[in-house]
C-alpha cells in the first residue's frame, strides 16, 4: 500500500485512516449486499440504514435535541449563503451578520440579494487588496438589531485562522452559524442555535455534502413560493431524499461519526485538538519573533494555525523543505500569505508534534 504523508490541506482535507481503510475494504461490495455503496439505490433499505446511522451519529455526538432536523444537502456551504436568507429572512427582510473573514463576506454578499444586511461588527483591517482579519469581535462591539430575522456568524475563519471561543450572545434572535471548518471539533450547546451549516469536506467527510441542522420552528418561515430545492421544508419533509443525495459522502460521514465515538466523543476530541494546536503555537510563541502568528492570541483557531516569517523568501524555503520532509499543504491562503497548518480532527497528534520539531530545527538553521 502507498505510504501516507502529513496532509495539512484546508479542504478537502485529511480523513481518519480507519475510515479510509473501512471504506476501501467495503468498496467492492458492502458485507452481505454484493454491491458497493456507489451502486445501491438511495431508496434501498441498505442505504436507508446508512442514512439513519449517519444522522444518529451526528445527533449523538452533538447531543442534538429532538426539535431539530438534520439534513444532508448539496451545493456546499456556499449554497447555504443563499438558502439561509431566502428561507429565514422574510418577512422582516433584515438580518445581522458579523464580518470576520472571507467566508463571512461571501455570506453577506448573498444575503444582500434578499434583504437588508446589518453588519453587526466587522474586524476587517487594511486597505484595498491588502485587507485582512486577525481577530474576533468582542461581545461589546456587536451592534445587534433586536428586530433582526437572525444573527449570522462564522465560527472558525478557515483562511485567517481565527475562531470564536464562545457563541455571540444574541438574546432571543435566532442564531445562525457557518461551522464549516470547526463543526465536531468540540461539543457545542446546539440549543443556542437556530441553524448550523457546514460543508463536510473539512471536518466531517468528503466534499459534495453539506450538513444542515435546523430548529423545526424556523420551517414556518420557509415560503411555499421558494424553488422546491431551495426550500428547507422540502428537505425536512423528505429526510434529505427529495433528490438523489451524495450517498457516498453520507456513508463516509457515518464512518467518521463512529470513529469519533470510538475515540470517546467530542470532549475527548477537544482535549486532543487543544494539545495538537498547542505544539505549533508554542513554537511560534517561543521563537522570539522568527515565527509571527497571524491571529490575535486570544482568538487563535484550533483548526487552522496561520503564521508568517520575516520574508516571503524565507516562507518559501520553509514550505519547500517541509514538503520534502513529508509535510504537505502548508502554503497559506493567498490573502494571508505565509503558512497555514490545517489540523482538523482527523489530523494526527504526532503530525503536529513533528511539525513543531521541524519548525524549531528550521529556526536554528536559519
Ligand X SMILES: *Cc1c(COP(=O)(O)O)cnc(C)c1O
Active site members: 103, 178, 202
Strand partners for 327: 6
Query: Of 75-83, 85-93, 122-130, 160-168, which part binds ligand X (CB under 6 A)?
Result: 75-83
Hey, how many other C-beta atoms are within 10 angstroms of the C-beta on 39?
Answer: 11
Q: Is 335 in the site for ligand X (CB under 6 A)?
A: no
Q: Smallest gap, in angstroms, from Cβ of residue 44 to ligand X?
A: 27
Q: Is 78 in the site for ligand X (CB under 6 A)?
A: yes
User: Which residue, 180 or 272, is less far from ligand X as judged by CB?
Assistant: 180
Q: Is 342 in the site for ligand X (CB under 6 A)?
A: no
Going residue by residue from 100 to 139, which x/- string records binding to ligand X, judged by CB under 6 A? ---x------------------------------------
Q: Is 77 in the site for ligand X (CB under 6 A)?
A: yes
Distance of CA 77 to the CA centre of its chain: 9
Q: Smallest gap, in angstroms, from Cβ of residue 249 to ligand X?
A: 11
User: Which residue, 203 or 308, is less far from ligand X as judged by CB?
Assistant: 203
Tell me the Cα Rg of the chain.
21
User: Which residue, 87 or 180, is less far from ligand X as judged by CB?
Assistant: 180
Q: Smallest gap, in angstroms, from Cβ of residue 183 to ligand X?
A: 10
292 near 315, Cβ under 8 Å? no
Q: Is 11 in the site for ligand X (CB under 6 A)?
A: yes
Q: Smallest gap, in angstroms, from Cβ of residue 156 to ligand X?
A: 6
Near ligand X by CB under 6 A: residue from 69, 99, 180, 342: 180
Q: Is 199 in the site for ligand X (CB under 6 A)?
A: yes
Q: Is 273 in the site for ligand X (CB under 6 A)?
A: no
Q: Smallest gap, in angstroms, from Cβ of residue 10 to ligand X?
A: 7
User: Which residue, 197 or 358, is less far from ligand X as judged by CB?
Assistant: 197
Question: Which parts of 42-71 interact with ligand X (CB under 6 A)?
Answer: none
User: Which residue, 56 or 119, is less far from ligand X as judged by CB?
Assistant: 119
Query: Which residues lie below 8 Å from residue 178, measured CB to CB, with a gap of 6+?
Result: 77, 80, 81, 103, 104, 107, 152, 153, 154, 155, 197, 198
User: Which residue, 283 or 346, is less far from ligand X as judged by CB?
Assistant: 346
Q: Smallest gap, in angstroms, from Cβ of residue 344 to ligand X?
A: 11
Q: Smallest gap, in angstroms, from Cβ of residue 11 to ligand X?
A: 5
Cα separation, 73 vs 79, whole angstroms: 9
**How big is the site for ligand X, counted in residues (CB under 6 A)?**
12
Q: Is 181 in the site for ligand X (CB under 6 A)?
A: yes
Burial class (CB in 10 A: 0-12, 13-18, 19+), 19: buried
Question: Which parts of 132-161 interact with ligand X (CB under 6 A)?
Answer: 154, 158
Q: What is the contact surface with ligand X in residues (CB under 6 A)?
A: 11, 76-78, 103, 154, 158, 178, 180-181, 199, 202
Amino acid at each position: 500500500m502507498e505510504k501516507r504523508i502529513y496532509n495539512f490541506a484546508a479542504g478537502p482535507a485529511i480523513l481518519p485512516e480507519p475510515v479510509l481503510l473501512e471504506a476501501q475494504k467495503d468498496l467492492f461490495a458492502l458485507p452481505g449486499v454484493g454491491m458497493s455503496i456507489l451502486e445501491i439505490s438511495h431508496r434501498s433499505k441498505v442505504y436507508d440504514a446508512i442514512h439513519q446511522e449517519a444522522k444518529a451519529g451526528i445527533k449523538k455526538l452533538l447531543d442534538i435535541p429532538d426539535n431539530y432536523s438534520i439534513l444532508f444537502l448539496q451545493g456546499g456551504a456556499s449554497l447555504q449563503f443563499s438558502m439561509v436568507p431566502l428561507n429565514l429572512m422574510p418577512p422582516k427582510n433584515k438580518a445581522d451578520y458579523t464580518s470576520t473573514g472571507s467566508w463571512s463576506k461571501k455570506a453577506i454578499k448573498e444575503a444582500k440579494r434578499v434583504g437588508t444586511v446589518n453588519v453587526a461588527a466587522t474586524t476587517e483591517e487594511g486597505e484595498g487588496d491588502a485587507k485582512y482579519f486577525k481577530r474576533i469581535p468582542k461581545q461589546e462591539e456587536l451592534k445587534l438589531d433586536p428586530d433582526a430575522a437572525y444573527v449570522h456568524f462564522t465560527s472558525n475563519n478557515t483562511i485567517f485562522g481565527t475562531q470564536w471561543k464562545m457563541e455571540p450572545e444574541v438574546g432571543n434572535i435566532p442564531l445562525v452559524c457557518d461551522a464549516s471548518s470547526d463543526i465536531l471539533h468540540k461539543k457545542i450547546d446546539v440549543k443556542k442555535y437556530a441553524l448550523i451549516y457546514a460543508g463536510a469536506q473539512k471536518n466531517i467527510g468528503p466534499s459534495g455534502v453539506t450538513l444542515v441542522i435546523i430548529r423545526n420552528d424556523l420551517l414556518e418561515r420557509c415560503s411555499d413560493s421558494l424553488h422546491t430545492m431551495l426550500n428547507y421544508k422540502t428537505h425536512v419533509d423528505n429526510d434529505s431524499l427529495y433528490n438523489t443525495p451524495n450517498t457516498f459522502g453520507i456513508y463516509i460521514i457515518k464512518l467518521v461519526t463512529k470513529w469519533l465515538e470510538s475515540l470517546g466523543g467530542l470532549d475527548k476530541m477537544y482535549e486532543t485538538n487543544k494539545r495538537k494546536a498547542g505544539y505549533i503555537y508554542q513554537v511560534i510563541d517561543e521563537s522570539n519573533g522568527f515565527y509571527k502568528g497571524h491571529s490575535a492570541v486570544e482568538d487563535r483557531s484550533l483548526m487552522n494555525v496561520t503564521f508568517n516569517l520575516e520574508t516571503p523568501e524565507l516562507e518559501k524555503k520553509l514550505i519547500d523543505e517541509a514538503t520534502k520532509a513529508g509535510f504537505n499543504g502548508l502554503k497559506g491562503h493567498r490573502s494571508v500569505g505565509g503558512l497555514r497548518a490545517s489540523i482538523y480532527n482527523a489530523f494526527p497528534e504526532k503530525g503536529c508534534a513533528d511539525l513543531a520539531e521541524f519548525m524549531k530545527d528550521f529556526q536554528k538553521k536559519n
